[in-house]
Chains A and B, each alone.
Chain A
């Protein structure tokens, strides 16, 4: 009995050690930016909170209005991204809130929409390939025809982006897809197309990064030129003054980078953007999973061992049954 118990424990510990060794092993590195990655640069200091981008997004994506409540059905005034809103402008408020882009007694705008992560958790989480990252332009796209509606992507996204239509019998996941349906007809992200100040700028992520760092290097108040619409498109630029930027490009390093990068004059954690590590959660998760299941090698070996042991340990039962079978004849 004692020996058996020890064997049992040994088995348990060995199994545990195997799992531990597996999880401790080096996981895969973060994925890297696709070659022609497209994205957005959002500059909080340029945003005037007009929400033209929110309206344009609804128009081009055929999204219904989000009234504040049933009591006030006359305004489309979404409070957050949702099953019917892919993009929203939120405001940070502090004290008297009478100075724009000040942390104290100030206010500042922030855009919330999909960040199109370089190594997205939603893509890693989705069991049926309904979230796909385009290998060339990196847009994270949603395919409702594949989706089973498990909402693992909603739960997994560290930015709280994919949303779900809880009020529909035949619901979908809802999120910004960077207007990929408008690319074939020469258009681009509607939010950038309509932004009057260039606060939302569309372009290749590498170009956007260069532009972001140019702005960070400016002296506050310095006169400069701000492009609007898309980088590399027609010249819609105008003269403005540089803001007092926080020296950080949010999205450049967070979780391995995102294709939407952001600038602001108020610290990002105040604007609903928490500090995040550079290692992507998807890489950690897949590291754990693949160490355990790569090519199903470990399960296959374990199954082999278990089969041999189970066959040996059930032998007597076969005999018993054989005899009873013979007895019947």
Chain B
């Protein structure tokens, strides 16, 4: 049973519903704001400044967005590398969400780049600056987006009935699966490395040479959490039977990985003598406590095999882990980032609307895809 194929099928159903209309509306608002941004500069719609040159478009849309899109990576790691075939039904939906998450995170970078027309320089040898962490991140994420579309292409090929092409692709797919595991391991850790060069500007609660490891571990954790979160939402939202047994089993792996992460995280703070900083009142300590409690609570919520069978605990744990990963990144890039006195940042309303519009578009596209393409496991016979 380890590698059993499972049947997948399009969900079908109406595409125009109140939900999709609202999502489309939010997407359109974001589009208008982006037009303003391209005509009048980033300052016209954002609150970023020289003290906070990166706002939520980078900290959330890219850093958090790509980490939340690690479901496909985490499941591929589990199914194809650790040979846990029983999780196979979770691969496609996770991969689809990752595809959107990453493609949009990649595309949204264009909104934030001041000189976006030069973006191809990232991939042009004459300009490449290989010492730059940003270079690694940019090239690696782009490569991963392509790899994911290849990984996902069997879905399109099935839809189009191109079985021969699909069979040929299947012969080499293992290589793309391997790449699809390697590339996120590289760039998710590098997203953490981005902070290393900031030096003292990043608060001691987050400035460590272990940042790459912390970001990598949390990216995988978030991948698992998102899979559980999405499976729960999908089963409720599309009124399908839940997949609790498989999720319970998945959550056990997540649980042990979480334990490893917390040991590394706290051990690193102790090793650097930074533990005391969490007791100094301020935004940094507050941000730290939210982050750490969000990571620690699931360790308690999922401690026993019985509690891992409970859908509510699984769901809450998944949400908490997503919050923890969100906070780690927001803390590192915004709350724990301090250039000097006098600089403040909180996203402007139009800036927020663009981020909300991106999320709305992502959900909208997901709905359209699962209704029209064979992504979700067939449950009709149940």
Chain A positions within 8 Å of B, measured between CB atoms, are 4-5, 7-9, 11-13, 15-16, 19-20, 23-24, 80, 82, 121, 124-129, 144-152, 154-156, 158, 160, 163-173, 255, 272, 274, 276, 281-282, 284-286, 288-290, 292-293, 299, 302-303, 306-307, 309-318, 320-322, 324-325, 328
Contacts and interface: CB of A to CB of B under 8 A. Distances in A.
Residue among B2, B38, B212, B252 with the most chain A CB within 10 A?
B212
Contact of A9 (B135, B178, B260): B260
A303 B115 contact: no
Given A125-B197, A307-B174, A149 B116 contact: yes
Contacts of A7: 82
B297 interface: no
Contacts of A154: 50, 53
A164 B135 contact: no
Contacts of B136: 289, 293
Contacts of B128: 127-129
B215 to A, nearest CB: 10
B121 A310 contact: no
Contacts of A20: 210, 213
Given A16-B264, A167-B43, A149 B170 contact: no
A307 B134 contact: no
B163 A292 contact: no
A276 B171 CA distance: 55
Nearest to B173: A314
Interface of B: 2-5, 38-44, 46, 48-51, 53-54, 78-85, 112-116, 118-119, 121-122, 127-129, 131-136, 138, 163-164, 166-167, 170-171, 173-175, 177-179, 181-182, 185-186, 189-190, 193-194, 196-201, 209-210, 212-213, 216-217, 220, 252-253, 256-257, 260, 264, 337, 339-340
A147 B122 CA distance: 10
A317 B5 contact: yes
Nearest to A16: B213
Contacts of B134: 125-127, 150, 152
Contacts of B5: 316-317, 320
Given A127-B135, A129-B127, A158 B178 contact: no
B54 A302 contact: no
A166 B260 contact: no
20 contacts: A4-B84, A7-B82, A11-B82, A12-B217, A23-B210, A23-B213, A126-B129, A128-B127, A151-B114, A155-B198, A160-B339, A160-B340, A164-B50, A164-B114, A172-B115, A173-B114, A284-B197, A306-B81, A313-B83, A318-B170
B174 A169 contact: no
A147 B133 CA distance: 16
Contact of A313 (B3, B163, B167, B264): B3
B200 A158 contact: yes
Contact of B115 (A149, A276, A314, A320): A149
A314 B199 contact: no
Given A155-B201, A274-B200, 4 more contacts: A19-B216, A148-B116, A150-B134, A156-B198
Contacts of B179: 303, 306
B313 to A, nearest CB: 19
Contact of A12 (B43, B133, B174, B260): B260
Nearest to B120: A148
A207 B351 CA distance: 50
A310 B178 contact: yes
The 8 tightest CB contacts between A and B, nearest first, are: A149-B114, A166-B43, A149-B115, A306-B178, A281-B199, A285-B197, A127-B135, A316-B3
Given A158-B199, A169-B41, A148 B115 contact: yes
A306 B28 CA distance: 42
B44 to A, nearest CB: 7
Contact of A170 (B115, B119, B182, B201): B115
